[in-house]
């Protein structure tokens, strides 16, 4: 228990929150339907040409685009899985904010919480999600 508390003290909460906000904003730039498409993309039927048989520059561009899309789909899936592992209030706040694109007032009404509680849940959710995804930023040692 003491190791865990010591570890929490070493996390730079401000930088970790900023990193998580940036990552979530980048990953969830798209609409909910597009996000679900990304999540289901790995089971898609699109055939990727064999790397050895690539002849034209169009094939190379196509392959690069497909690889980028697969990487993005894997990242979104990883984050969604991390969010699903969170406790209810944190998970609800993140899903409504980033996946369902709800406004703060709508989220507060849906969850029956005040705006201050919403901000506290959101702030804690960033830290907890970062720890679950091993993406936390540690303070510099002096």
**What are the pLDDT digits (tens) for 32-48?**
555 555 444 444 444 44
- Domain assignment present for 9: no
CATH code of the domain in which 82 resides: 1.10.10.10
Helix (H, G, I), strand (E, B) or coil at 126: helix
Q: Which range marks the domain in which residue 62 is found?
A: 20-132
Per-residue pLDDT of the chain (142 residues; tens, 9 = 90+): 445 555 667 888 899 899 999 888 887 776 555 555 544 444 444 444 455 555 566 666 777 777 777 777 788 788 888 888 899 999 999 999 988 889 999 999 999 999 999 999 999 999 999 988 988 888 877 6
- Domain assignment present for 8: no
Residue listed under structure tokens 């690539």? 54
- Domain assignment present for 59: yes
- Domain assignment present for 14: no
| Mutual angle of helices 115-132 and 57-84, in 10-degree steps | 120
- Domain assignment present for 1: no
User: What's the pTM?
Assistant: 0.71
Number of domains in the chain: 1
- Domain assignment present for 33: yes
């Amino acid at each position: 228990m003491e190791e865990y508390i010591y570890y929490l003290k070493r996390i730079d909460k401000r930088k970790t929150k900023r990193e998580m906000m940036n990552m979530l904003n980048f990953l969830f730039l798209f609409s909910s339907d597009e996000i679900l498409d990304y999540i289901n993309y790995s089971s898609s039927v699109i055939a990727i040409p064999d790397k050895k048989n690539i002849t034209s520059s169009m094939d190379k561009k196509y392959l690069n685009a497909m690889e980028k899309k697969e990487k993005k789909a894997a990242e979104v899936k990883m984050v969604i899985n991390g969010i699903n592992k969170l406790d209810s209030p944190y998970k609800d706040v993140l899903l409504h904010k980033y996946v369902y694109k709800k406004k703060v007032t709508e989220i507060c009404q849906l969850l029956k919480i005040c705006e201050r509680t919403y901000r506290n849940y959101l702030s804690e959710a960033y830290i907890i999600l970062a720890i679950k995804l091993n993406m936390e930023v540690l303070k510099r040692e002096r």
